[in-house]
C-alpha cells in the first residue's frame, strides 16, 4: 500500500508535483498516467526516498521509505534502466544488489529465471538490447521479493513481445496481492494494463478511478484493418465475439478492441494484413482534453490521425 498525501515538489520556479493525494492499493495494477513532464518520475522518486518532498508525505506500507528496516525487501523499483554499470554482467549486477541488501544469492537464479534473462545473465550489460536491460532492471526490482513494486515507463521502447511480457508480469504480481504502480505517458498502453488509473498533469491530480470508469468517460477504441481476405477475417473477428463491420471492399472496423487483438485473430487464421491501426483519436483527444492545460509540452496539433499516437510528446 502506498499513501500519497499533499505531496508537493518544487525545483526552483518549477512546481513539479503539486499537492498530490492518492492511494495505491495491493492486488491491482495501478497505472500512473500523464503527459511528459507531468511529474510521474518525481513522484516515484519521492516514494523511494530519492527526492525530498517540499511538503506532504508518502507512506509505503504505513511508513516513510527512509524508515523501512529492509527497503529492498519491501519496495522494488525500476526507474532508469540505463543507470547500470555496463561493464558488468547481468548476474554480477544482481549479485552486487543482493549483497548490498542482504538478499540470499539463490534469489539471483530465481529472478533471472522469472524475467527470462536466461544465458544473457552471464553476458556484459553493454551488449544488452533495451528489452534485456528492462528485464535486468525488473529482475533487480524483484530480488528482495517486495510487496510493493514501482515501474517507471517499463514499456518504453519495447517491442510487442516485450510489452506483452511486462503486462503479464504486472498482472501476476498484482494477483499475488502486491502493490503495483506503473507509469506511462500513453493512455493506449495503460488501458490494456492497469485496473486503476491515477492521471496527473503538471503535477496535479486529474483523475483517480478504475480504468473502465475513466475510459467510459472518454471515448471508444476502434481498430481499422485491411486484408485481401477481409471476409474470412470478419467472420473470425465475430466468432471471437467482437463487433466488426465492413467499411470498404477490404477494410473492416472493429469496436472496442486493440490492434494487438485483431492482429492475433488474423495471425491465427494465417490471413494477410495490409493495414492495422487503432483509430484512437477520439480517446487520445479526450485524454488531451482531460489533461488540457496541464500538458507541459504540446506536440503537433491534434490532427485526426488513425494511428497509435503519443500524446503531448
Ligand X SMILES: Nc1ncnc2c1ncn2[C@@H]1O[C@H](COP(=O)(O)OP(=O)(O)OP(=O)(O)O)[C@@H](O)[C@H]1O
Residues that bind ligand X (CB under 6 A): 11, 14, 16, 34, 36-42, 185, 296
Contact 7, 157 (CB under 8 A): no
* Cα 106 → chain centroid: 29
Least Cβ distance, residue 205 to ligand X (angstroms): 13
Nearer to ligand X, 14 or 96 (CB): 14
Residue with cell 534469489: 107
Least Cβ distance, residue 296 to ligand X (angstroms): 6
Nearer to ligand X, 115 or 150 (CB): 150
Least Cβ distance, residue 288 to ligand X (angstroms): 15
Least Cβ distance, residue 203 to ligand X (angstroms): 7
Nearer to ligand X, 37 or 71 (CB): 37
Least Cβ distance, residue 39 to ligand X (angstroms): 4
Nearer to ligand X, 11 or 126 (CB): 11
Nearer to ligand X, 9 or 226 (CB): 9
Amino acid at each position: 500500500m502506498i499513501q500519497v498525501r499533499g505531496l508537493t515538489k518544487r525545483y526552483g520556479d518549477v512546481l513539479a508535483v503539486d499537492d498530490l493525494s492518492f492511494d495505491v492499493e495491493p492486488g491491482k495494477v495501478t497505472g500512473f498516467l500523464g503527459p511528459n513532464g507531468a511529474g510521474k518520475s518525481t513522484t516515484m522518486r519521492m516514494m523511494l526516498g530519492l527526492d525530498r518532498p517540499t511538503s506532504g508525505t508518502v507512506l509505503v506500507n504505513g511508513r516513510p521509505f527512509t524508515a523501512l528496516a529492509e527497503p529492498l525487501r519491501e519496495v522494488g523499483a525500476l526507474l532508469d534502466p540505463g543507470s547500470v554499470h555496463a561493464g558488468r554482467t547481468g548476474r554480477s549486477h544482481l549479485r552486487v544488489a543482493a549483497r548490498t541488501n542482504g538478499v540470499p544469492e539463490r534469489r539471483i537464479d530465481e529472478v533471472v529465471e522469472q524475467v527470462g534473462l536466461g544465458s544473457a545473465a552471464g553476458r556484459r550489460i553493454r551488449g544488452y538490447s533495451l528489452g534485456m536491460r528492462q528485464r535486468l532492471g525488473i529482475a533487480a526490482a524483484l530480488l528482495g521479493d517486495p510487496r510493493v513494486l514501482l515501474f517507471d515507463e517499463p514499456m518504453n521502447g519495447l517491442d510487442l513481445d516485450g510489452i506483452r511480457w511486462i503486462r503479464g508480469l504486472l498482472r501476476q504480481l498484482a494477483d499475488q496481492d502486491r502493490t503495483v504502480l506503473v507509469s506511462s505517458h500513453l493512455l493506449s498502453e495503460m488501458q490494456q494494463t492497469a485496473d486503476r488509473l491515477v492521471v496527473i498533469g503538471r503535477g496535479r491530480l486529474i483523475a483517480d478511478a478504475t480504468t473502465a470508469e475513466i475510459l467510459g468517460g472518454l471515448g471508444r477504441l476502434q481498430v481499422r484493418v485491411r486484408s485481401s481476405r477481409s471476409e474470412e477475417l470478419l467472420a473470425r473477428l465475430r466468432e471471437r465475439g467482437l463487433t466488426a463491420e465492413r467499411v470498404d471492399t477490404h477494410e473492416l472496423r472493429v469496436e472496442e478492441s486493440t490492434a494487438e487483438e485483431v492482429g492475433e485473430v488474423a495471425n491465427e487464421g494465417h490471413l494477410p494484413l495490409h493495414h492495422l491501426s487503432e483509430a484512437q483519436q477520439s480517446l487520445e483527444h479526450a485524454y488531451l482534453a482531460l489533461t488540457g492545460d496541464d500538458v507541459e509540452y504540446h506536440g503537433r496539433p491534434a490532427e485526426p490521425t488513425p494511428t497509435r499516437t503519443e500524446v503531448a510528446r
